Amino acid sequence: QESSSVEFNCTFKTDEYGFFLYWKAEGKEGQVLEISTVNDVRPGAQAKDGKVLLDDKSIEELESDDKGPIDDRSITVVSAEDMVNLSIMYMVADDAKTAMTWREGIRGLLHNYKANNVCPMTQFQKHWMRLSLQVSPSGKIPVRSITRTFASGKTEKMVFQSLKDLGLPNGKNDEIEPADFTFEKFFELYKKICPRTDIDDLFHKLNGGKEYLTVDQIIKFLNEQQRDPRLNEILFPFFDRKRVVALIQKYEVDPEFTKKEWMSVEGFTRYLMSDENAPVFLDRLEEYQDMDQPLCHYYINSSHNTYLTGRQFGGKSSVEIYRQVLLAGCRCVELDCWDGKGEDQEPIITHGKAMCTDVLFKDVIHAIAETAFEASDYPVILSFENHCCKAQQYKLAKYCDEIFGDLLLKEPLEDYVLEEGKDLPPPNALKRKILIKNKRLKPEMEKKQLELFWKGEGNLEVEEEEHSESECFLLSGENGVSSPSEDGNPQEFKFNKSNSSSDIQEEGKNGSLKNKKVEMLEEEQAMAMAQYQYQGATTNVHPWLSSMVNYAQPVKFAGFDVAEDRNIHHNMSSFNESACLGYLKTSAIEFVNYNKRQMSRIYPKGARVDSSNYMPQIFWNAGCQMVALNYQTPDLSMQLNQGKFEYNGKCGYLLKPEFMRRPDKTFDPFAESPVDGVIAATIEVEVISGQFLSDKKVGTYVEVEMYGLPTDTIRKEFKTKTIPANGLNPQYNEEPFVFRKVVLPDLATLRFAVYDENNKLIGQRVLPLDGLQAGYRHVGLRTESNFPMSLPCLFCNINLMTYVPDGLGEFVDALNNPMQYLSQLEKRAMAMKAMGIDEKDIADVPASSGKKDKKAANGKSPATPSSSLGVDGKDGKAKTPTKVSIESLKQEKQYIKLIKKQTKEMNGLKKRHDKEKAVMQKAQSSVVDKMVAAHQKEKQSVEKNLEKAKKKNGTNAAELESKLKSLVENHDAKVKEIVATQTKDFSELVAKCSKEEHEVKEGHFKQQCDVLKQLMKVAHEQQTKQITTIHEK
């Protein structure tokens, strides 16, 4: 969609935060474009139709000022809320320099991952700013714009009354001065119309009915409810008084409360809606992963049949979508290359004989060159499906060489040679490089043919092409393989001309569209699909194109054993989803191991003519790197893909979990029990309320889903009740949805989806569990195309815990802190003894579980020394000796170096001890697990027999009841006995570890004393020398 109107003498501005691009023409309303929706700014006015941009009169008017050609003074602003439907605006500046300044300025604001993840409070500020910018011709804010904000849940009358209470104009046709409508006024208006009773309830639950929270109450809340208990206490320290006072000073609005170190419900609300209370750790949104691992150790954001904007059959091809996909962070795009049939014999990109329109290969290469590294500097992989004759393959190579230039990686890197057993290079080594994935000739054949070609002796005539159906099925034939026709030749489509028209959009060199028509009846489509014979990619490769292929060399997949024996890391294979699922079913572990060494690409099966997507999660579970999806289809699969790749700076590469990279680890993607070295988790999600979910008075409900390993995936099971006729601020207050056992949290994602009463998706959000924060959080929603929505969000309470099998909670508490557990028992036993109670009179009963004590750990590293033991002043004269304290000696480099070494040694020891404890805990838990499982099985069998006996009025019912009672008592006794034994063993291990740590600390203390003595001796010698110097003078 291009601008259809022309406005002269516009004043363009951006706000101070870079949220909006806004403009106003004389006598017209102000208009706003949110910069987070802008994905590209290009030089010139690249209109699809020149008439759309300007008519002849407008051109004359603009060119009459002698300020240069319009194209030099223009910029094209492209915005979108999905991959296909774009909005294009053209700006014409007074001169070329101004146009360039604006182009670079806007471009600097694009691809900002932080702008897509702002907190609710910032979203309110953005919305207030939008209202303030969308002024009437008189420069004021229309009241009707404000009423539209709250239209989904409240009547206009209530909005008018609230405006009146705030002393603002409140008539339907009134207007407000922007200076009077401050953000504080807007936020007060929000609180009047949409009171946050959910936050009020939480506030009063925490403070015991008072009007404020104390520092201690806030510390308790932040440490017990807002913190993941599994986090390392050193890397993620507990909140202390200092940090909480800083929060009060930042968010509390009442000066008296701030002075008394109290927090009101207003300050509490502002904190809960701030960036400091985001649902994920914000550093996960930055580039935080190690980017120096081999390429096969990463998931790579990938696109299938990138050129299509719609269906796979009879669909339209586009150059523009390559730009959009790359700007969205995709790092692997597909190019189906075919011989051009025109006089110029220019190779084209299209979907074979599937009646899709085509675009020029050359235009696509230009688009890729311009946008490949706008959103990310990491390598782009071009997946060629090459159906061209050698003559046109030469053009493919020529355009890649000329247009890409140094961006194209034509030779392997020196440190990463193409030899057996050699690792692939890491993304860091391939920054701003384009790799080609295409069939490559054997080295000796390529060398020979290349020499002949450069000598002008190569034969570039159109040759009979070789096709390997089996190879194409697994390698390049990325749309499925049908059986051959009777004569063995590919069949053409035949249509009834009287029943078909055309609407094919061909993009030419300048991006202009030529309209043709292609519409087919459903019966004809079905018939055509039945006739469709997929034509495999050519294996007869031009040597120049072949020489450009290096780290992504596709080969026919011959089996996992063969690939392991060959051990060639730069070889890769492509699998359609059906074939891949087949291999996962028969050889899942082998597939994971294959992906540790080399790359695989997965693509949709040919039957998906509607461009629907498969579920990518099962292929990520196996470590497949390029899980290619139809980007033009904003379905659940694409939402999971976009949500996953939003992490790590949205750079298009995500490091796989360690156990999917290390050759010494074995991983089964269908595992149902905890993976070695990975702690399973329990997740509880309570959906409390929603805000601004819809601008209509509709009923809404929320679904919460988990995607991960098959055993972790839970869909369509957890759903809130529907709240009728309130899209503004529905209160759900559901019981927590419990995901009891998440075996592999590193691979799992949590998805929130909000639907209206007609089951239409309103908004959704995908959050990877790695980086999810616990506690009361606001979850901002996205559109189905994963673009941020302005105000819609959910208020939830998320609890993250270590998974504990049923019946073992008390046992785990005892193992976590056996000394405390035993000391409490001993103290109580002694207290009872003091009161004259004999120990043998105390019965053994199960202990009730209580909350574990939590202590803040505040480690401090030694400060960097700022002074030395020197004796001379700046003028070279001797100074009077200064007193040397023990603290000043501890600032010396020698002592600091020792402390660092000792700290490292102690940390290593503690790490070893932790491992020993974990191993013992795991072994002990396993023993109890087996015992409990065996008991449950036997108990169920006896209970079943007892039930049958009771139904038959059998005489052995009493005997079975006795047996059941005895079985339970014996089991309890055995559990107590083994728990006591295990607790004793664990206590001994803890005592042994404590003794070792004590001995090491003693040794460290002696070393510290020795170094301090030595430093003191040096200082004494220097002072003696100094005094001697003074006396001599």
1004 belongs to the catalytic site:
no
Question: How many CB atoms neighbour CB 280 within 10 A?
Answer: 19
Strand 553-554 relative to strand 571-576, pairing: parallel
Residue 562's SS3 state is helix
Q: Which amino acid is at 924?
A: Q
Distance CA 826, CA 834 (A): 12
Question: Angle of helix 241-251 relative to helix 265-272, nearest 10 degrees?
Answer: 100
Q: Which listed residue (351, 542, 569, 778) is catalytic? A: 351
Whether the Cβ atoms of residue 396 and residue 404 lie closer than 8 Å to each other: no
CA distance 74 to 56: 17
Q: 683 in the Ramachandran plot: left (φ > 0), alpha (ψ -120 to 50) or beta?
A: beta
Any residues with CB less than 8 A from the CB of 929 and at least 6 apart, and which? 805, 808
Sequence-separated (6 or more) residues with CB below 8 Å from residue 921? 815, 986
786 among annotated binding-site residues: no
Exposure on the CB side of residue 201, measured as CA atoms within 13 A: 9
Q: Is 103 left (phi over 0), alpha (psi -120 to 50) or beta?
A: alpha
Are 296 and 624 in contact, with CB atoms under 8 Å apart? no
Helix (H) or strand (E) holding 560: helix 560-566
DSSP state, 858? Answer: -
Residue 155 CB: number of other CB atoms within 10 A?
Answer: 12
SS3 at position 575: strand
Structure tokens at 751: 């998805």
The reply, when asked if residue 336 is annotated as ligand binding, is yes
Q: Does the annotation mark 351 as catalytic?
A: yes
Q: Residue type at 196?
A: R
Residue 385 assigned ligand-binding role: yes
Within 8 A by CB and 6+ apart from 449, the residues are 441, 458, 543
Burial group, residue 517, by CB count within 10 angstroms (0-12, 13-18, 19+)? exposed
- Catalytic choice (111, 127, 297, 304): 304
Q: Is 465 annotated as a binding residue?
A: no
Residue 122 CB-half CA count within 13 A = 18
How many Å apart are CA 125 and CA 151, to the nearest integer?
A: 19
Please, what is the angle between helix 818-834 and helix 957-1032, to 10°?
Answer: 110
Whole-angstrom Cα distance, residue 645 to residue 378?
14
What b/e string do you get for 790-799 counting C-beta neighbours within 10 Å, with b at 16 or more?
bbbbbbbbbb
Among 781, 772, 768, which Cα is nearest to 799's? 772
Report how far residue 299's alpha carbon sits from residue 624's, in angstroms, rounded to the nearest whole number. 7
Exposure string for 215-230, b = 16+ CB within 10 A, e = fewer? bebbbebbbeebbbee
Task: Tell me how far apart the alpha carbons of residues 847 and 809 are, in angstroms, rounded to a whole number.
Answer: 10
Alpha-carbon distances of 198 from 193, 690, 717, 732, rounded to whole Å: 14, 10, 25, 10
Answer for the pair 278, 122: CB distance below 8 angstroms, yes or no: no
Query: Mapping DSSP to helix (H, G, I), strand (E, B) and coil, where does residue 139 land?
Result: coil
Closest CA to 550 of 385, 433, 403: 433
d(Cα 131, Cα 129) in Å, to the nearest integer? 5
Enter the DSSP assignment of 493. P
Q: Which residues lie closer than 8 Å to 592 by C-beta, 6 or more apart?
A: 622, 623, 660, 667, 668, 669
Pairing state of beta strands 348-349 and 359-360? antiparallel
Name the residues annotated as catalytic: 304, 351
Annotated binding residues for Ca(2+), written as ranges, equal 305, 334, 336, 385
Annotated binding residues, written as ranges, equal 305, 334, 336, 385
